[in-house]
Amino acid sequence: MKKITKIILFLFMLNTVSYSSSLRIEIKELVNNLSSYKILDVRDKNKFEDLHIKGALNFSASLTYNNFSIDGKISEPNKMQKIIRNLGLDINDNIVIYDDGTFFDASRVFWTLEVYGFKNLKLLNAGFNFWERLNYQTSKDIPIVKQSNYIPSINNKKLATKFTTQIATKANSQIIIDARDYDNYIGKKSAAKRFGHIPKAINIPAINNIKKDLFKSKLKGIDELKDIYKNINKDKKIVLYCSIGRIASTNYFALRELGYDVSNYDASWKEWGNDSNLPIIKLSEAK
């Protein structure tokens, strides 16, 4: 009997560890532990200044792009160093990230910070709009922070490029996922001059990772995400892309939660689709 009790206790502890190491955090958990985290509001500066979660710092998702008008390439180290230092952030800080509830911008910042070496990141599993609706603490005050000594280093395992994606199209050990909607995937629509998708890519739209109801959006539960990615081999490296490396970041977050080895192609279709030297596939349905 004692042996059975010990086994049950051990299994309970395993489940507790798994939950506490989740990459998401629910509203109530954050409310009860506000002082334990640095909170990043990744909405535009004007929205942040209008109202935000009390104590939050503004790290607009637009700052993660080198040149948003061209493609989704990630901001360069010198720019990121300045941004991160001015926010007083260090790579070992416990950080919670939120946006307006789309999860696309929050996921983009999550991925960017992982590329730049941050280790303890969580997404708030709700947007600011729902936080405000629940009447939790908000503020117009902008916190004063002490500048950090952050030195940038890039984790290339999490950042795919045009070159590494070309390799992935021919490597049996890699899977490419197109996170755009189906019409973009088959070539009915495009953010680039060419229509279609990267060879070998399978289509799992970013929106599949999110569930919506009347008042809020939430990330789908772990079991639901497992079902979405059930045919994706965990022994293979995953390369993600969309149009500008934004919405694909939501797939990145989901796959990270599930324990996959995953990278995000930052320049994405806006680079690949505009380079006539690179191969594409346009499905017959797109005619």
SS3 135: coil
Residue 18 has pLDDT above 50, yes or no: no
What CA–CA distance (Å, rounded) separates 166 from 140?
A: 46
pLDDT of residue 108: 99
φ, ψ of residue 176 in degrees (nearest 5): -110, 130
pLDDT of residue 283: 85
Q: Is residue 145 situated within a structural domain?
A: no
- Reading the block at residue 58, the tokens are 């503004």
SS3 233: coil
List of residues 6+ apart from 216 with CB closer than 8 A: 101, 126, 127, 129, 130, 133
pLDDT of residue 69: 83
In a shared domain, residues 184 and 96? no
**Integer angstrom CA distances of residue 122 from 139, 141, 255:** 21, 23, 14
The model's pTM? 0.91
pLDDT of residue 21: 59
In a shared domain, residues 10 and 134? yes
In a shared domain, residues 21 and 128? yes
Q: Tens of pLDDT along 146-171?
A: 999 999 999 999 999 999 999 999 99
The continuous run of DSSP H or E covering 108 comes out as: helix 104-115
In a shared domain, residues 179 and 118? no
In a shared domain, residues 110 and 210? no
Q: Tens of pLDDT along 83-110?
A: 999 999 999 999 999 999 999 999 999 9
In a shared domain, residues 233 and 128? no
In a shared domain, residues 129 and 211? no
What CA–CA distance (Å, rounded) separates 20 from 41?
A: 22
Q: Is residue 70 situated within a structural domain?
A: yes
In a shared domain, residues 249 and 195? yes
Q: Is residue 48 situated within a structural domain?
A: yes
Residue range of the domain that includes 242: 159-286
Residue 16 has pLDDT above 50, yes or no: no
The number of domains in the chain is: 2
Q: Is residue 153 situated within a structural domain?
A: no
Q: Is residue 186 situated within a structural domain?
A: yes
In a shared domain, residues 268 and 227? yes
Domain endpoint, select from 139, 172, 190: 139
Q: Is residue 150 situated within a structural domain?
A: no
Domain endpoint, select from 85, 109, 139: 139
CATH code at position 168: 3.40.250.10
- pLDDT averaged over every residue in the chain: 92
- Reading the block at residue 233, the tokens are 């081999």
- Reading the block at residue 192, the tokens are 């680039």
Other CB atoms within 10 Å distance of the CB of residue 31: 13
Q: Is residue 258 situated within a structural domain?
A: yes
Q: Is residue 112 situated within a structural domain?
A: yes
pLDDT of residue 4: 44
Cα of first residue to Cα of last residue in the chain, in angstroms, is 67
Contact assessment for residue 52 and residue 36, using Cβ atoms and an 8 Å cutoff: no
In a shared domain, residues 132 and 185? no
Where residue 245 falls among pLDDT bands split at 50, 70, 90? very high
